[in-house]
Amino acid sequence: MQIYVCVKHVPDSAAHIHIVGRNGIDETVAFLLNPFDEHALTEAERIRQSLPGSEIVAVCLGKEDAEKTLRSSLAMGADRGLLIASDQRYDSIETARILKSAIEQDGTPDLILTGKESIDAEGMQTMFRIGALFDFPVVNNVVKLDIADGKAVVDTDLSSGIVDTYELSLPCVIGAGKGLNTPRYPTFPDVVKSKKKPVKTIRLDGLQLDTAPAASRMTLVELAPLKQKREPKEIIGDPGAVAREMVRILKQEAKVI
Amino acid sequence: MKNIGVIIETDKGKIKEACFGMITLARAKGARLFAVVLDQDGEGPNLKSDLKSGLNPDMKADLEAFGITKIIAVSFSPGRNKNPVVRAKAVIEAISAHDLDTVFALSTARGKDLLPRIAALAGAPLVMDCFDVDFEKNQVKTSQYSGKTIAVIELSGKVSVVGIRPNAVEPCRAETTALADLLFLDASDMLSRNLQVVKAGEADRSAAVSLAEAEVIVSGGRGMKNKENFSLIAQCAERLNAAVGASRVAVDSGWVPYSMQVGQTGEKVSPRVYIAWGISGSIQHFAGMKTSGMVIAVNTDENAAIMSNCDYYVKADVLDILPELINVLDNG
């Protein structure tokens, strides 16, 4: 089975985001593999164990530095990496077009995996757009995946643990949710091995892209820090008094009871 | 004139409260407001019979009170309304049949599935989890970088698809209302070729309130100490009609399932009130709840990050306060 895992190079979740200019961020903070993509890679590795001979290709659209994220992906089990190197920012529509073109140029996918969302742009849609371009079925936030007899049976989490079960024909696109698996973090030998695995860097002009501008687009006009104006007030007293004051606040101020 | 379609989510046959806030936000000057009713869950209105009676009258009156003037009631072949691809195709049909230039739906779990399907199939721009909309500029506001920043995004295209954060806007009835026209859309011949529903999840669980939509969230962390104590969180939540949340520590310790995790790699929530019991408030936890209305924190450690970034704090052991709160809620 030919498995492609789309990964994204994102700022570390613990990083402070400093806004630069009108809509940029200070990119000197640490960037790493998008946390949800770890679940996608772990699942790809699990599938390969049941279907020997499968190949896992990690694909990333990002700046040159994103090679680090591809190396992390290789340490988590991917066989090779494909970096579409560009310093530009792309919306989900363009990103899907570029990823589709890169995958198509590389091989014939049986399965495309992504994380359920990226923790930077939080667009929650690229997997659906990739699916639409390929005309493959898509399910996001998948928490259980079984592949057999040319189809995928998946559970998707609809909130608070309620799941729908779908059957998809292959090839398909799967967005990995947190409940899908527990990421297997690389051991030192995995990291050493990952350095020897191939990463191919391609440029946009090396892809067969439709040069006509997309009819639709999303443009990031402005970024601003979220201002927190909370002024903490202490509730004091014995437990009974504190509990009564909390109820009063919930009733009179928040008006939720 | 703008034609704005608002996709209505129902729960047990009633319109979800958060929909009215979304309709309030959609009420742009001079816009024509359409409600798109997809018969959201099995417990919802039976559109086949309602086609004759003219939709559930309460539902119609509620939509009218908030300024809806056209109601598009979609009817599916039996069982097919559960198929997300069929649902998306039905909305796309509604867009073209009624010249909708904007489509709104809640950024709930259902909306997070439906909206990107619509946008991808229609090649339309989409921004999820928006809390403000500027119709003149066709710009929306949402969070990026895990709630650390607010992004203004401009949508360009024939149709704009917008996910609205539940509880982002206070519901407000329309000043002028009119009887809404009922428009029927027959989606009975719509199919999904390559995705079939094997089993649809239970829509009518009695207890659990969904985190993404909850008005109040009662959330527990390390300070709960063990699984048994965590059941106090559920008892408190039940009395407040609240959803139960948890920090990563509580999830990783196996006290609660991962689906209850609030934070960067859990659920992003914006309830009107978030009560944090024994949660220190890591940057990743804040990423999931910082857009909440009021934040109340109880923690023994007054230096915990959450104590300086909340509205009310109590410096105490959660196990002293929580049983007392349950007691006061029960007995006044």
User: A160–B142: do the CB atoms touch at under 8 Å?
Assistant: no
Kindly provide the ipTM of the predicted complex, given to two decimals: 0.94
Q: List strand residue ranges (DSSP E) for B145-293, in order.
A: 149-156, 160-164, 181-186, 195-199, 216-220, 243-246, 273-277
Closest B-chain CA to A133:
B120
Is pLDDT above 70 for B259? yes
Of A14, A127, A239, the CB nearest to B284: A14
Q: pLDDT class for B75, splitting at 50, 70, 90?
A: confident
Q: Which are the contacts of A112, defined by CB distance < 8 A and separation ≥ 6?
A: A3, A4, A5, A6, A103, A127, A130, A131, A134, A136, A171, A172, A173, A174
* Chain B neighbors of A114, CB-CB under 8 A: none
Nearest to B315 by CA among B216, B223, B221: B223
Tokens linked to A58: 């990690």
User: A239–B260: do the CB atoms touch at under 8 Å?
Assistant: no
CA B246 to chain centre: 18
Q: Percent of chain B, pLDDT > 70?
A: 93
What is the tens place of the pLDDT at every residue in A19-69? 999 999 999 999 999 999 999 999 999 999 999 999 999 999 999 999 999
Give the angle subtended at the CA of B312 by the CAs of B306 and B314, to the nearest 5°: 80
pTM equals 0.90
How far apart are alpha carbons A244 and B326 in whole angstroms?
Answer: 10
Interface of B with A in 172-231 (CB under 8 A): 192-203, 205, 208-213, 215-216
For the beta sheet containing B243-246, the strands, ordered from the edge strand earlier in sequence to the opposite edge, are A233-234, B312-315, B294-299, B273-277, B216-220, B243-246
Closest B-chain CA to A39:
B265
Q: How many residues does chain A have?
A: 257
The CA distances from residue B5 to B64, B84, B127, B153, in Å, are 14, 18, 15, 20
Q: Counting one residue from A and one from B, how many pairs have CB atoms under 8 Å apart?
A: 264
Interface of B with A in 247-286 (CB under 8 A): 257-261, 264-267, 272-273, 283-284
Tokens linked to B152: 């203004």
Interface of B with A in 26-65 (CB under 8 A): none
User: Are B140 and B168 contacting, i.e. CB atoms less than 8 angstroms apart?
Assistant: no
What is the tens place of the pLDDT at every residue in B92-127? 999 999 999 999 999 998 899 999 999 999 999 999
How far apart are alpha carbons B40 and B20 in whole angstroms?
Answer: 16
- Tell me which of A107-111, A160-164, B2-6, B275-279 is least confident: A160-164
Q: List strand residue ranges (DSSP E) for A118-162, in order.
A: 138-148, 151-157
How far apart are alpha carbons B189 and B248 in whole angstroms?
Answer: 45
pLDDT at B208: 64
User: A242–B316: do the CB atoms touch at under 8 Å?
Assistant: yes
Beta strand B294-299 pairing with B160-164: unpaired
Phi and psi torsions of B203, nearest 5° = -90, -15
3-state secondary structure of A12: coil
